[in-house]
Each structure stands twice: as structure tokens, then as C-alpha cells.
Chains A and B, each alone.
Chain A
């Protein structure tokens, strides 16, 4: 049981972090196309 909890916590945090921040980056990138450099 503790193996499953650790796996879910570790994989959830690390890979979850990637998924959340990629989704945010895609969302913000769409808005930024309008900003000139």
C-alpha cells in the first residue's frame, strides 16, 4: 500500500508538474503572439 501511495505522490508531483506547466505555457503562448518584441 505504501508503495502505491509513494508512486502516486512522486509520479503525480513530478509528471503532474510537467503536464500542468506545459498546459499553462501553451495557454500563455497563444496570448503572447500578439505582443511585439
Chain B
């Protein structure tokens, strides 16, 4: 089951819709973790996740006045973030930008399995192709259907299904198979896939 989203108080929402800066900050405080987590896991890059976090909340501030409550507020915010992630990946130049190298992020406490397994899974997730990683995250974690994912990516439900299968096949290999051979370049740059 997808992790439940924080609930936004209706008075905070009303204040935000009237341009109250403190209310905007409260909204950021409530949803920044889930947006940053979503973006970091979808894009496999801390720097790009920061970009998405920023762009998402700039848009939330600008458009909060148009929010009519058709969907849960947190869901609305996440949809903006997902669109921003997809926009980043559509940009061939941005998607190939190299990361800082310092990709340490503060992990919040979890009741889940061992940290070693989580690190291994995190790394394996980062190794997937952009498309496979996005599909597996949106489907298995965010709970979107293949039809929804297909629409978001401008493709079909079948495309989403086959990408999910590929993602799981690759995850299985990465988590249980032989480590991949690293190229013989003097300097490997995985972000550009030159090794």
C-alpha cells in the first residue's frame, strides 16, 4: 500500500489560497519530504531532485488558488511533482547532467528490514533505466495503475506493464546476480553511461 500522505488543514489551505506566506511554508513543511523522496527515487539524482522540489513548490504557490479539492491535496502536489520529474527526463540535456557525486541524503527512521538490504535495493533502483525506474516507482510504491502511468508518459498501459516486468527482471539480477563489470576507462561517468 502506498504510504499515506499528510493531511492539510482546511484553514491553512484557505490562507494559502489568499497568498499567506506562512501558510505556503506550512504546506512545504508538510509535503517537502514526500516530494523530495518521490523525485530522488524517480530521477536517481539528488541535484535533479532538488530542482524538482523547488519547481514543484513554486508551482504549488502559484496554483494553489486554482485547487478545487477534486483530489486529496497531497495527491495534487504529487501529481505536479511527477510531471516535473517527467519533464526533466524528457530534456535530453538535463537528463544527462552529471551529479554532484555527493549524493548523501538524510534518511528518515523506518521500521523496515536491515539497512544493508535497503542500501542494496536503493542502489539497484538507481541502476535501472530512467523509464523502468519511474514505472516501478509509480506502480509499486505510489500505487498508480498501468493505464495512469501510460497516460502520464504519453504511452500505453502495455508499455507500462512491459517496463515494470523489465524493471523487476533487472532488479532481480542486480540484487542476486553477479556484480556488473566496470569498463576500463580511466574515469567512468555512469551518468553519461560512458562506462
Partners in one complex: no
